[in-house]
């Protein structure tokens, strides 16, 4: 039974990615308008040892022994991973394992903390989210804990970027009508240009937005014009261009189980088609698993047809 490791999951941006989830479900310093997980349960910016890092590494070693080498070991999951005080230890241990490079997906909220920057230096790739350079817009989109100041976070990411030898790939979540004005984009552009080793930018939008989220989905046209207005010298891709999902590792040679479906839905609502693709399973098998889980009251279908965990 796995507790911290999920996947490997074929990811549009990362290839075959083995996930490491360090926080209890939805423990986050933000409660973003666009979050596809449930509402934030533990809203905190206080770092803690949510689980024993030794246990995480033990489980990781055991999973790596069962699967083909993934492209990345990705620290992400159902909350903000930099909240875990054992992040540095875990990244150091992943390096020692020499099985795959490490990647951290972060909401950037703790980049003002020297200890967090120090720990993240041990990663090989950082995917920080950044949606605005304005505190008001930041609060509107992310609903951060009250102590978080965007100015300090931006300064922290700049400092980090100066010394980091890995790749920094910023994800900008485009929220139509909120962070897509000429002024907002110009502010982001100036800031992104100030990051010494920015490798690329990814313009994302929530394709499956909760009905009552207060934010709509950006279409391809909007993402294209956002990209043109950013006018950056590094590659800028959009969510619509990342349509290729690599096939699941050939070493994943067992049929999909209901636990695989539950683990995926815990992190992301999915359509039946996506579950088939990610789990490399026939549609009738996925349908049968979903029906079984729905009968048990564990999953439900949303109004747009996606499947999600029952609250």
First-residue to last-residue Cα distance in the chain:
22
Q: Is 107 in the site for ligand SF4 (CB under 6 A)?
A: yes
* Residue 32 binds to ligand SF4 (criterion: CB under 6 A): yes
Q: How far apart are CA 194 and CA 48, in angstroms?
A: 31
The β-bridge partners of 125 are 103, 167
Q: Is 154 in the site for ligand SF4 (CB under 6 A)?
A: no
With CB under 6 A as the contact rule, which of the stretches 34-42, 59-67, 246-254, 299-307 interacts with ligand SF4? 34-42
Q: Does 215 bind ligand SF4 (CB under 6 A)?
A: no
Question: Cβ contacts of residue 201 below 8 Å, gap of 6+?
Answer: 169, 170, 171, 172, 192, 230, 232, 234, 235, 236, 237
Q: Is 153 in the site for ligand SF4 (CB under 6 A)?
A: no
Secondary structure class of 119 (helix, strand, coil): helix
Is residue 37 a contact point for ligand SF4 (CB under 6 A)? yes
Contact between 6 and ligand SF4 per CB under 6 A: no
Compare residues 35 and 100 and give the one whose CB is closer to ligand SF4. 35
Nearest distance in Å: CB 37, ligand SF4: 5
Shortest CA distance to 305 belongs to which of 292, 285, 290? 290
Residue 80 and residue 104: Cα distance in Å, rounded? 10
Q: Which stretch binds ligand SF4 (CB under 6 A): 12-20, 28-36, 95-103, 184-192?
A: 28-36
Cβ proximity to ligand SF4: between 32 and 198 the closer is 32
Task: List the one residue from 20, 53, 57, 80 that touches ligand SF4 (CB under 6 A).
Answer: 80
Q: Find the binder of ligand SF4 among 31, 59, 139, 272 (CB under 6 A).
A: 31
- Which residue in the set 6, 30, 72, 202 belongs to the binding site for ligand SF4 (CB under 6 A)? 30
Residue 180: CB atoms within 10 Å: 16
How near is the Cβ of 189 to ligand SF4 at its closest, in Å? 23
Stretch of residues binding ligand SF4 (CB under 6 A), selected from 23-31, 156-164, 196-204, 284-292? 23-31
Asked whether position 71 contacts ligand SF4 by CB under 6 A, the answer is no
22 near 84, Cβ under 8 Å?
A: yes
Stretch that binds ligand SF4, among 32-40, 211-219, 245-253, 282-290 (CB under 6 A): 32-40
Specify the residue, 35 or 63, whose C-beta has the smaller distance to ligand SF4. Answer: 35
Integer Cα distance of 53 and 310 in angstroms: 29
Residues 6+ apart with CB under 8 A from 13: 127, 169, 202, 242
The SS3 call for residue 2 is coil
Does residue 308 bind ligand SF4 (CB under 6 A)?
A: no
Q: Which helix (H) or strand (E) holds 299?
A: strand 299-301
DSSP one-letter string for 200-215: EEEEE--SS--TTSS-
CB of 143 to ligand SF4, least distance (A): 8
Query: Where on the chain is the footprint of ligand SF4 (CB under 6 A)?
Result: 28, 30-32, 35, 37, 40, 79-80, 107
């Amino acid at each position: 039974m796995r507790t911290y490791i999920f996947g490997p999951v074929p990811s549009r941006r990362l290839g075959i990615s083995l996930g490491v989830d360090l926080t209890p479900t939805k423990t986050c310093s933000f409660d973003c308008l666009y979050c596809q997980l449930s509402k934030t349960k533990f809203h905190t910016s206080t770092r803690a040892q949510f689980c024993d890092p030794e246990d995480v590494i033990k489980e990781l070693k055991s999973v790596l022994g069962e699967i083909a080498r993934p492209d990345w070991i990705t620290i992400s999951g159902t909350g903000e991973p930099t909240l875990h005080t054992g992040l540095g230890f875990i990244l150091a241990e992943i390096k020692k394992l020499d099985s795959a490079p490490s990647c951290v997906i972060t909401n950037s909220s703790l980049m003002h903390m020297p200890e967090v920057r120090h720990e993240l230096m041990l990663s090989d790739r950082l995917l920080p989210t950044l949606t605005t350079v304005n505190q008001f817009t930041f609060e509107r989109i992310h609903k951060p804990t009250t102590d978080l100041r965007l100015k300090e976070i931006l300064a922290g990411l700049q400092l980090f970027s100066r010394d980091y030898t890995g790749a920094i790939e910023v994800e900008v979540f485009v929220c139509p009508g909120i962070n897509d004005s000429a002024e907002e984009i110009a502010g982001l552009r100036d800031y992104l240009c100030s990051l010494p080793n920015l490798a690329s930018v990814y313009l994302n939008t929530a394709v499956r937005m909760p009905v009552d989220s207060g934010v709509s989905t950006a279409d391809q046209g909007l993402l294209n014009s956002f990209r043109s207005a950013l006018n950056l010298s590094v590659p800028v891709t959009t969510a619509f261009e990342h349509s290729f999902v690599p096939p699941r590792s050939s070493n994943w040679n067992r049929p999909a189980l209901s636990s695989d479906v539950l683990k995926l839905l815990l992190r992301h609502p999915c359509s039946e088609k996506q579950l088939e693709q990610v789990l490399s399973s026939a549609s009738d098998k996925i349908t049968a698993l979903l029906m079984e889980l729905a009968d048990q009251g564990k999953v439900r279908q949303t109004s747009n047809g996606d499947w999600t965990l029952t609250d």
